[in-house]
């Protein structure tokens, strides 16, 4: 029994609290929104983008009145999950099985969600389920009077170092985008690459010339085929790229093995790393040097913690990334990366690309860094009047 009066329950390396076993999930409310964008980002373009960054805010109320907030952040051009699909999945499939459950029983809750929305190659609807997981962590922390990091027996620094994302359409667009990042105090940059290898190499060279000391992180989002990747990777290394993320589609396993044998750059995986078992398999098969972590991608904080610990035990690195996370999802990522000692700048670009907030103290980077929330749960407060206004503007 801990000094706080509850016993620790270890779940695959995580530590959660058995606390207030009389509690139950009483109500789940969902709020679909589209955050307005302020800069071009390729994943929010196209005729079906709907004019903003889609998200579903999730409000879980416990039987004692405690409220936990979560956020699902689907991006159809990045994953198969959509705003409409997330709303339907929560409303018609997850809410009915979660009402009445103990919010601290995360293992059972995830088993229920994975039974109701089954796996395909990996966890089904992980982005949608992540919003539920984050809300439950927020609720648990508030009940215990602890920040989520403290639920894990950890602390966080005051701030997290960020990376500025570059996704220019042409090389002429590159310098103004670099200038904008430098003007805002950023010293580290990540670039979106693929499929044009010559363009990618030229972009990396120009960025390295402009910002020689930057940690240069290239992300292909699975956009190369194998022959293009094998050609591009040594050239990107020569151009000054430090790490390449997700060069091939997630299921190109033998391709990743060939790239690893080439050995020109550290290869970090993203899109295909959803469940901890996925990461274990890719490590066994010799496919990666590390993982680009996104709790929004992998079903939430529970899975993310397990994967960070798996990577650590295997001697692999992890990068901190996101899905252009707004507000609630961003708070979860900041706490996770701070608690587990992220060593490289995080590509959390919600503050860069999004023009609205629904929390009382929005995250505003200064000098290329952003505060990590420290209060109970997620350490943030949702302004429900702001949220109602955004829901109305999104409809």
Give residue 5's pLDDT. 31
Could you tell me if residue 29 is inside a domain?
yes
Domain boundary among 91, 123, 145: 145
Do 232 and 378 lie in one domain? The reply is yes
Do 211 and 105 lie in one domain? The reply is no
Give residue 8's pLDDT. 39
Say if CB 298 and CB 289 are below 8 A apart: no
Cα radius of gyration (the chain) = 20
Do 120 and 181 lie in one domain? The reply is no
For the chain, what is the domain count? 2
Cis peptide bond N-terminal to 195, omega within 30: yes
Could you tell me if residue 2 is inside a domain?
no
Q: What burial class does residue 7 get, using C-beta atoms within 10 Å of its C-beta: 0-12 exposed, 13-18 middle, 19+ buried?
A: exposed
Do 110 and 186 lie in one domain? The reply is no
Give residue 170's pLDDT. 96
Domain of residue 251, residue span: 159-394
Do 74 and 212 lie in one domain? The reply is no
Could you tell me if residue 153 is inside a domain?
no
Could you tell me if residue 150 is inside a domain?
no
Could you tell me if residue 151 is inside a domain?
no
Q: In whole angstroms, give the CA distance from residue 316 to residue 283.
A: 9
Do 281 and 364 lie in one domain? The reply is yes
Residue 235 to residues 27, 175, 232, 262: CA-CA distances in angstroms?
A: 54, 21, 5, 12
Indicate which CATH number applies to the domain containing 287: 3.20.20.120
Indicate which CATH number applies to the domain containing 128: 3.30.390.10
Do 40 and 17 lie in one domain? The reply is yes
Provide the token pair at 279: 């990461």
Give residue 7's pLDDT. 36
Selection from 297, 373, 368, 291 nearest residue 338 by Cα: 373
Do 134 and 165 lie in one domain? The reply is no
Could you tell me if residue 372 is inside a domain?
yes
Do 174 and 312 lie in one domain? The reply is yes
Domain boundary among 84, 119, 145: 145
Q: In whole angstroms, give the CA distance from residue 60 to residue 30.
A: 9
Do 101 and 205 lie in one domain? The reply is no
Domain boundary among 145, 173, 198: 145
Say if CB 189 and CB 222 are below 8 A apart: no
3-state SS of the chain is CCCCCCEEEEECCEEEEECCCCCCEEEEEEEEEEECECCCCHHHCCCCCCCCEEEEEEEEEECCCCEEEEEECCCCCCCCCCHHHHHHHHHHHHHHHHCCCCCCCHHHHHHHHHHHCCCCCCCCCHHHHHHHHHHHHHHHHHHHCCEHHHHCCCCCCCEEEECEEECCCCHHHHHHHHHHHHHCCCCCEEEECCCCHHHHHHHHHHHHHHCCCCCEEEECCCCCCHHHHHHHHHHHHHCCCCEEECCCCCCCHHHHHHHHHHCCCCEEECCCCCCHHHHHHHHHCCCCCEEEECCCCCCCHHHHHHHHHHHHHCCCEEEEECCCCCHHHHHHHHHHHHHCCCCCCEECCHHHHECCCCECCCCCCECCEEECCCCCECCCCECHHHHHHHHHHHC
Could you tell me if residue 41 is inside a domain?
yes
Could you tell me if residue 354 is inside a domain?
yes
pLDDT one digit per residue (tens) for the chain, 395 residues: 232 333 333 333 344 545 677 899 999 999 999 999 998 878 777 766 667 999 999 999 999 999 999 999 998 888 899 999 999 999 999 999 999 999 999 999 999 999 999 998 899 999 999 999 999 999 999 999 999 999 999 999 999 999 999 999 999 999 999 999 999 999 999 999 999 999 999 999 999 999 999 999 999 999 999 999 999 999 999 999 999 999 999 999 999 999 999 999 999 999 989 999 999 999 999 999 999 999 999 999 999 999 999 999 999 999 999 999 999 999 999 999 999 999 999 999 999 999 999 999 999 999 999 999 999 999 999 999 999 999 999 98
Do 134 and 201 lie in one domain? The reply is no
Helix axes 327-339, 301-313, angle to 10 degrees: 30
Selection from 200, 198, 207, 201 nearest residue 175 by Cα: 207
Do 195 and 316 lie in one domain? The reply is yes
pTM of the model: 0.94
């Amino acid at each position: 029994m801990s000094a706080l009066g509850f016993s620790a329950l270890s779940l695959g390396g995580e530590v959660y609290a058995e606390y207030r076993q009389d509690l139950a999930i009483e109500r789940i409310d969902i709020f679909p929104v589209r955050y307005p964008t302020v800069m071009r980002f390729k994943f929010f373009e196209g005729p079906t983008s709907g004019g903003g960054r889609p998200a579903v805010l999730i409000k879980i109320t416990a039987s004692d009145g405690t409220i936990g907030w979560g956020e699902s952040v689907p991006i159809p051009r990045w994953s198969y999950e959509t705003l409409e699909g997330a709303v339907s999945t929560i409303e018609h499939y997850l809410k009915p099985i979660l009402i009445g459950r103990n919010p601290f029983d995360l293992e059972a809750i995830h088993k229920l969600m994975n039974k109701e929305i089954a796996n395909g190659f990996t966890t089904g609807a992980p982005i949608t389920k992540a919003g539920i997981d984050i809300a439950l962590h927020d609720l648990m922390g508030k009940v215990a009077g602890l920040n989520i990091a403290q639920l894990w027996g950890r602390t966080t620094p005051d701030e997290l170092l960020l990376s500025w994302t570059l996704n220019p359409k042409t090389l002429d667009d590159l310098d103004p985008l670099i200038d904008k990042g430098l003007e805002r105090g950023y010293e580290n940059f990540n670039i979106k690459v693929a499929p044009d290898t010559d363009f990618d190499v030229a972009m990396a060279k120009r960025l390295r010339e402009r910002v020689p000391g930057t940690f240069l992180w290239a992300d292909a989002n699975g956009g190369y085929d194998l022959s293009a990747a094998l050609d591009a990777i040594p050239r990107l290394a020569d151009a000054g790229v430090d790490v390449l993320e997700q060069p091939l589609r997630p299921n190109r396993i033998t391709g990743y093995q060939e790239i690893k044998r080439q050995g020109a750059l550290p290869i970090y995986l993203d899109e295909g790393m959803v469940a901890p078992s996925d990461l274990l398999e890719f490590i066994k098969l010799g496919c990666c040097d590390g993982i680009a972590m996104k709790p929004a991608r992998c079903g939430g904080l529970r899975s993310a913690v397990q994967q960070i610990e798996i990577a650590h035990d295997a001697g692999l690195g992890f990068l901190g990334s996101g899905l252009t996370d707004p507000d609630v999802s961003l708070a979860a990522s900041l706490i996770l990366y701070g608690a587990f000692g992220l060593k490289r700048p995080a590509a959390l670009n919600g503050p860069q690309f999004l023009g609205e907030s629904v929390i009382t103290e929005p995250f505003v980077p200064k000098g290329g860094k952003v505060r990590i929330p420290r209060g109970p749960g997620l350490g943030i407060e949702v302004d429900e009047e702001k949220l109602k206004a955004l829901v109305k503007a999104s409809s």
